[in-house]
Chains A and B, each alone.
Chain A
Amino acid sequence: MQQNDSRENVREIVVPGDLLSKSGLKAGPGTYVESGQIFAAQLGIKTTRSDVVGVVPLSGQYIPMRGDMVIGKIADMGASNWFVDINAAHQSSLHVNEVPWRVEFGETGKFMTVGDLVLLKVIGVDELGKVQISMKEHGLRKLAGGVVVEVAASKVPRVIGRNGSMIQMLKNATSCRIHVGQNGRIWVDGDLDSMLKAIDVIKLIETEAHSVGLTEKVKKRLGQMGGKGE
């Protein structure tokens, strides 16, 4: 283990209760304020952007936010809705009005059944944590074929990369179709070899998510595999 020096851009791991700032900064996500001082509320990496100090969590469950694209699994059906597991604390309900088909009362099962995977969008979260989801937007659909890889929801931004650079690189290198849900579910479809390749790299990103030089490592891994495959 190398000892990190005290440069400003070195990633500092904080645990709940760590003092982040005495004054002058604003409290960002993953923090709390007590008697004018900002403390970490979660295990994560301390980040300071302009005048906001926050904690990027290293672990933790998916917390639904409006506008999130998620991959859900149908868990149960009602006469006019489906119950969808989106990896959050609660199951959420997908009403027939929020799907792109016209569904008669009691005929939900004709369209989607238990176990089906769907690409969805979170359209609202109320104060009790109840989630409303929709399938009506362009590009949202039932996912047929392919496989789903699960990663920690906190690592999803690393899989996507800055402006989608990481996922684009992965798509180009493996020629797989990939959808990344904010809830940590990643759907991969393509021929078997490239699917396995993509899954391997996604797992690499998950385990190495917090390390420095992640992109280089992913490139290296992709390069190695490309060599073997041809």
Chain B
Amino acid sequence: MGGTPLPDGIKLIDENGKRLDGRRPDELRPLKIEAGVLKRANGSAYLEWGDNKVMAAVYGPRECHPRHMQDPTRALVQCHYNMASFSVDDRKRPGPDRRSQEISKIISEALTHVVFTEYFPKTSIDVYIEVLQANAGTRCAGLTAASVALADAGIPMRDLVASCAAGKIDDTVVLDLGKEEDNFGQADIPLGYIPRTDEIVLLQMDGDLTTDQFRTGLNMAVEACKKIYDLQRDALKRKYASPARGNDKDVGVN
């Protein structure tokens, strides 16, 4: 982050209060979720959020390897976040790095909170998040997709986790930062949230905010998570409400 400053004459928020991509400060980028896209995985989801493209796959519960990591009282939720080398402008050096390890860890912890891990002792539930195209906010996109994939895998869980970020650009608190806003902005707050129980399962902050700005941002993100939550539920219901792939379409009520 940081690096080259924003070219002169370009402002993150123009005189009409619109952002670089024409959004209002409290507007989300367009979000599209599809459940059950992979055949080999127990559960999967594909998500497009602005220019982010993220695929999540869930395997398990299955025997936990290495053995010493097994927990005899509960299942392990192991998340593997990975960015494809072609997901960003400059080629990303493939393989785990500090950042992806951190994101894997926080997403695992957020998901562990909702999954009934005690139902599957000694097993591991593996969640793979592949970022195919990145444009800021991939950890939120990853967490949102992962919880849909978990539900699609039929894993018992308390609720779905919705996730969204807020941030600060040009001293204004805005929702769901885009890439330029993230790079040249002042702060970023990713949030993982369960609307029904009003619980926060992921919260980070990068940059400086006053207490008031933080509160405003947090509230904005919470409201956005509620909308995202509805989209997640809709994606899951859509998969089964539509007539099964390919076969005759005469699904009537009789």
Asked, given contacts A89-B62, A129-B122, A129-B123, whether A15 binds B233 with beta carbons under 8 Å apart, the answer is yes
Q: Tell me whether B240 and A210 are in contact (CB under 8 A).
A: yes
**Smallest CB separation, A13 vs chain B (Å):** 5
- A30 interface residue (CB < 8 Å to B): yes
- B159 interface residue (CB < 8 Å to A): yes
Which residue of chain B has the shortest Cβ distance to A19 in the bound complex? B196
Q: State in angstroms the CA–CA spacing of A82 and B120 once bound together.
A: 23
In the complex, chain B residues 223-254 whose Cβ is within 8 Å of any chain A Cβ = 232-233, 236-237, 240-248, 251-254
In the complex, chain A residues 55-103 whose Cβ is within 8 Å of any chain B Cβ = 57-61, 89-91
In the complex, chain A residues 177-230 whose Cβ is within 8 Å of any chain B Cβ = 204, 207-208, 210-213, 217
Q: Tell me whether A43 and B154 are in contact (CB under 8 A).
A: yes
Asked, given contacts A17-B159, A41-B116, A59-B42, whether A128 binds B254 with beta carbons under 8 Å apart, the answer is no
Q: Tell me whether B241 and A41 are in contact (CB under 8 A).
A: no
Q: Tell me whether A90 and B63 are in contact (CB under 8 A).
A: yes
Asked, given contacts A58-B240, A129-B122, whether A204 binds B42 with beta carbons under 8 Å apart, the answer is no
In the complex, chain B residues 187-215 whose Cβ is within 8 Å of any chain A Cβ = 194, 196
Q: Tell me whether A128 and B244 are in contact (CB under 8 A).
A: no
Q: State in angstroms the CA–CA spacing of A7 and B243 once bound together.
A: 20
Would you give the 0/1 interface string for A1-45, flagging 1 where the beta carbon is closer than 8 Å to chain B? Answer: 110110100100101111000000000001010100001011110
Q: State in angstroms the CA–CA spacing of A2 and B242 once bound together.
A: 9
Q: Tell me whether B120 and A42 are in contact (CB under 8 A).
A: no
Q: Tell me whether B151 and A43 are in contact (CB under 8 A).
A: yes
- A174 interface residue (CB < 8 Å to B): no
Q: State in angstroms the CA–CA spacing of A58 and B42 once bound together.
A: 12
Contact with A41, one of B62, B157, B244 (Cβ below 8 angstroms):
B157
- B176 interface residue (CB < 8 Å to A): no
Which residue of chain B has the shortest Cβ distance to A43 in the bound complex? B151
Q: State in angstroms the CA–CA spacing of A78 and B252 once bound together.
A: 53
Q: Tell me whether A17 and B160 are in contact (CB under 8 A).
A: yes
> Which B residues touch A128, using CB under 8 A?
72, 121-122
> Which B residues touch A16, using CB under 8 A?
114, 151, 156-160
Q: Tell me whether A17 and B237 are in contact (CB under 8 A).
A: no
Q: Tell me whether B61 and A89 are in contact (CB under 8 A).
A: yes
Q: Tell me whether A211 and B251 are in contact (CB under 8 A).
A: yes
Which residue of chain B has the shortest Cβ distance to A91 in the bound complex? B63
Q: Tell me whether B254 and A13 are in contact (CB under 8 A).
A: no
> Which B residues touch A104, using CB under 8 A?
none
Q: Tell me whether A15 and B151 are in contact (CB under 8 A).
A: yes
> Which A residues touch B158, using CB under 8 A?
16-17, 32, 34, 39, 41
- B166 interface residue (CB < 8 Å to A): no
Asked, given contacts A61-B42, A127-B121, A210-B240, whether A89 binds B60 with beta carbons under 8 Å apart, the answer is yes
Asked, given contacts A30-B156, A57-B154, A207-B245, whether A13 binds B123 with beta carbons under 8 Å apart, the answer is no
> Which A residues touch B120, using CB under 8 A?
89, 129
Q: State in angstroms the CA–CA spacing of A10 and B253 once bound together.
A: 8
Q: Tell me whether B252 and A213 are in contact (CB under 8 A).
A: yes
Q: Tell me whether B253 and A43 are in contact (CB under 8 A).
A: no
Q: Tell me whether B154 and A58 are in contact (CB under 8 A).
A: yes
Contact with B251, one of A18, A32, A204, A212 (Cβ below 8 angstroms):
A212
> What are the 6 tightest A-B residue pairs by CB atom distance, in nearest-first order?
A60-B154, A17-B159, A59-B154, A207-B244, A41-B156, A16-B157
Q: Could you list 5 examples of A-B contacts with CB < 8 Å?
A: A1-B241, A1-B242, A13-B236, A58-B240, A91-B63
Write the residues of chain B forming the contact surface with A, with a CB cutoff of 8 angstroms.
36, 42-43, 60-63, 72, 114, 116, 120-123, 151-160, 194, 196, 232-233, 236-237, 240-248, 251-254
16 more A-B residue pairs beyond the given contacts A57-B154, A208-B244, A211-B251, with a C-beta to C-beta distance below 8 A? A1-B241, A10-B253, A13-B236, A15-B160, A15-B232, A15-B233, A15-B237, A17-B196, A39-B159, A41-B116, A42-B156, A89-B62, A89-B122, A208-B247, A212-B254, A217-B248
